């Protein structure tokens, strides 16, 4: 059911009467107004697409999140189709990227030829960035929805052809690949490409659809899979997730299995299993993790252990922050931050401590970006490594503390539920802007890691302060750039230009590599193409 509205999402959602707008209206004010509405909708949508994952949050359950997000997708797709597609070029999360691709492919006939061309390029570029399991899930969703137009088949064919090793996919994502092949019927040359061409032709088809017909396979993984049914040694040639099942079948003791499979594990698999078996993740593994992931890991440890490994953890966080800051290190001047470690920063059982981890990662990133840096945690915490979600959210008081440092830049990381007392943060920021700092000597930005399902946006603190959604603290510098558009001091034209620039850069980055090697994310047999981890650095 398409949602058509001339007003913005807020007005559409709150059913406030909106003055009807003539679509053929060509006066400059009409255009301006339409542009403003589109800009507002886009920013709102991007905030949602960065933060919302359709999972349970502290204050809303999964169903509410999904319902709210579905409405937003439908609204933007129907009313601003080209902006909707362009969102693929921004730092939105994988969940929303997959949703956008699915919707674009489902509603292909609503697009013009020009739109289709851009959409095709954007989809291809985005799919290359998505983890394979998400893409396979997307293909499955398209199959369930009965979408099998020529574009969809082409997209699937191109993505499959770009996979570095379909043999690995056939073993690791066996059912998903089977479903995708059955749905889109890619040409035989796609299935026999890459490492599979070394084996005998038609091998993959037989593996997927006629198991048992061949006595051996040319592709080492396919053959290992065949042998693993009866040979324990072959188990250790397979990817971890597949080998796990076989190991259980062969009744291999867990410790022995984990020890021997270690070289086949991805980084995150190693991280998870080491902690689960009581081991400790070494310095080297930690130094490879992205900043927010590292913060999540640090917070997952009991506080006693954090204290015991303080130097290692702090060093890892600092170096990850320096890597993320890159050339921008030290360039932000005097920075103060208000970081939310109230009880609600626990998130939910499925997004455990995510808001707190974003705050912790932001703490280290800002430390690297700033010349002088002063953090203000809502609980009054002085040792960030010991952060723990507890207590109320006295944002207003903390913002006052931070403003007393008279910083060049104030960054607020919070879910926006200011409750001790409620509304004080907004009032403090309003008076600061109007009475104390009308010259805008201090730039204030609020980044919010939590999507508010009821408000179709992340929760704001004050109209005078730009609020942007955030998923990974690493994106902070780019988000601060986006933040200026929400302040209302730049027009829709600038936003449009910014978006075009980002789209251009995004497509160029992808298409430059097109003729040569890895169009995908360069997954080796070792499974680096299967994790949730990498890839962030590849985004703009």
Partner 1 sequence: MSGLDMTGLTTGPAQVWGGIRLVPLLRDAPVAGLRLHRDLGTAAEDDPDDPCDGPWRVSYVPHAFVADWSGDGAHGAAYGTRLGPGSGTADPVRIPVSPRRHLTRRVREQGRRGRVPRATDRLRFLPLQLALAGYLSLHFRGPSTAWDEWSRSALQRGLSPREEAAYAGASVPGLGEALRVFEIHPRQCGVLLYAADALAAAFVVPHPADYRALHGTLVEDLYGELVYQYAYYARPLPAFEARLGDGRSVRTTADLRAAARRAETEWRRDHDSILAAGLLTDGYRFERVYAMDGFTLQRFLPGFVPGREQHIGELIRDHKGRTAYLKTFRLSEVQVRRGHLLDALHREDWHPGRTAEALGTSVEELARRIRSAGFGSLLKHG
Residues 6+ apart with CB under 8 A from 418: 393, 394, 395, 396, 424, 425, 426, 461
Among 436, 493, 497, 514, binds partner 1 (CB under 8 A): 436
68: contact with partner 1 by CB under 8 A: no
Site for partner 1 in 47-66 (CB under 8 A): 58-59
Point out which span in 13-21, 286-294, 384-392, 479-487 binds partner 1 (CB under 8 A): 384-392
Tokens of 118: 């851009």
435: contact with partner 1 by CB under 8 A: yes
Among 262, 312, 329, 420, binds partner 1 (CB under 8 A): 420
Among 211, 279, 434, 540, binds partner 1 (CB under 8 A): 434
Give 246-307 as a DSSP string.
HHHHTT--HHHHHHHHGGG--HHHHHHHHHHTT----HHHHHHS-HHHHHHHHHHS-HHHHH
Among 3, 400, 478, 507, binds partner 1 (CB under 8 A): 400
457: left (phi over 0), alpha (psi -120 to 50) or beta: beta
Among 248, 390, 441, 493, binds partner 1 (CB under 8 A): 390
> How far apart are the C-alpha atoms of 212 and 156, rounded to whole Å?
27
With contact defined as beta carbons under 8 Å apart, do 335 and 298 qualify? no
299: contact with partner 1 by CB under 8 A: no
403: contact with partner 1 by CB under 8 A: yes
As measured in angstroms, the least distance from the Cβ of 462 to partner 1 is: 12
DSSP 91: T
With contact defined as beta carbons under 8 Å apart, do 179 and 143 qualify? yes
Nearer to partner 1 among residue 312 and residue 386 (C-beta): 386
**Residue 372, helix vs strand vs coil:** strand
397: contact with partner 1 by CB under 8 A: yes
Among 202, 220, 391, 463, binds partner 1 (CB under 8 A): 391
76: contact with partner 1 by CB under 8 A: no
423: contact with partner 1 by CB under 8 A: yes
> How far apart are the C-alpha atoms of 479 and 467, rounded to whole Å?
9
421: contact with partner 1 by CB under 8 A: yes
308: contact with partner 1 by CB under 8 A: no
419: contact with partner 1 by CB under 8 A: yes
Point out which span in 228-236, 243-251, 289-297, 394-402 binds partner 1 (CB under 8 A): 394-402
Please work out the total of residues on this chain that contact partner 1, with binding judged by CB under 8 A. 31
Point out which span in 20-28, 31-39, 424-432, 497-505 binds partner 1 (CB under 8 A): 424-432
Site for partner 1 in 494-533 (CB under 8 A): none
User: How buried is residue 248: exposed, middle or buried, by Cβ count under 10 Å (0-12/13-18/19+)?
Assistant: exposed
User: How buried is residue 265: exposed, middle or buried, by Cβ count under 10 Å (0-12/13-18/19+)?
Assistant: buried
Nearer to partner 1 among residue 146 and residue 438 (C-beta): 438
Tokens of 168: 């690995």
Tokens of 410: 């104030």
List interacting residues with partner 1 (CB under 8 A).
Answer: 58-59, 342-344, 349, 379, 390-393, 396-397, 400, 403-404, 419-424, 426-428, 430-432, 434-436
């Amino acid at each position: 059911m398409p949602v058509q509205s001339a007003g913005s999402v807020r007005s559409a959602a709150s059913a406030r009467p909106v003055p009807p707008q003539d679509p053929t209206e060509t006066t400059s004010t009409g255009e301006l107004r339409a542009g403003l509405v589109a800009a507002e909708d886009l920013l709102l949508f991007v905030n949602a697409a960065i933060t919302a994952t359709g999972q349970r949050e502290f204050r809303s359950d999964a169903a509410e999140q999904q319902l709210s997000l579905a409405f937003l997708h439908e609204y933007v797709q129907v009313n601003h189709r080209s902006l909707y597609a362009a969102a693929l070029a921004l730092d939105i999360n994988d969940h929303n990227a997959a949703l956008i691709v699915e919707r674009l492919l489902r509603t292909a006939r609503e697009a013009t030829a020009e739109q289709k061309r851009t959409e095709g390029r954007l989809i291809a570029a985005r799919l290359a960035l998505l983890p394979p399991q998400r893409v396979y899930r997307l293909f499955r969703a398209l199959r369930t929805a009965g979408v099998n137009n020529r574009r969809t088949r082409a997209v699937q064919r191109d993505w499959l052809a770009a996979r570095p090793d379909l043999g690995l996919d056939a073993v690791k994502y066996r059912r998903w690949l089977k479903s995708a092949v059955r749905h889109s019927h890619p040409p035989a040359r796609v299935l026999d490409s890459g490492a599979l061409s070394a084996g005998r032709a038609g091998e993959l088809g037989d593996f997927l659809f006629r198991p048992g017909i061949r006595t051996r396979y040319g592709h080492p993984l396919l053959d290992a899979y065949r042998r693993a049914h009866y040979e324990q040694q072959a188990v250790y040639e397979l990817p971890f997730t597949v080998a796990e099942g076989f190991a259980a079948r062969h009744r291999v003791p867990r410790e022995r299995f984990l020890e021997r499979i270690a070289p086949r594990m991805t980084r995150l698999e190693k991280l998870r299993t080491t902690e689960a078996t009581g081991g400790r993740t070494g310095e080297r593994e930690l130094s490879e993790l992205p900043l927010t992931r590292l913060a999540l890991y640090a917070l997952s440890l009991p506080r006693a252990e954090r204290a015991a490994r303080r130097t290692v953890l702090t060093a890892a966080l600092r170096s990850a922050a320096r890597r993320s800051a890159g050339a921008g290190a030290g360039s932000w001047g005097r920075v103060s931050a208000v970081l939310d470690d109230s009880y609600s920063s626990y998130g939910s059982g499925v997004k455990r401590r995510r808001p707190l981890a974003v705050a912790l990662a932001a703490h280290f990133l800002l430390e690297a970006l700033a010349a002088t840096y002063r953090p203000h945690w809502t609980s009054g915490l002085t040792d960030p490594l010991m952060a723990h979600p507890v207590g109320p959210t006295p944002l207003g008081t903390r913002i006052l503390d931070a403003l007393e440092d008279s910083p060049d830049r104030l960054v607020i990381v919070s879910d926006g539920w200011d409750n001790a007392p409620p509304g004080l943060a907004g009032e403090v920021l309003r008076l600061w802007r109007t009475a104390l700092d009308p010259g805008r000597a201090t730039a204030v930005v609020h980044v919010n890691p939590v999507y508010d399902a009821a408000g179709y946006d992340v929760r704001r603190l004050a109209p005078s302060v730009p609020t942007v959604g955030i998923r990974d603290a690493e994106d902070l510098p780019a988000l601060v750039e986006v933040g200026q558009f929400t302040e209302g001091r730049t027009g829709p034209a600038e936003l449009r230009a910014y978006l075009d620039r980002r789209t251009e850069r995004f497509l160029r980055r992808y298409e430059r590599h097109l003729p040569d090697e890895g169009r995908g994310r360069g997954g080796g047999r070792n499974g680096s193409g299967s994790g949730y981890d990498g890839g962030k650095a590849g985004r703009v």
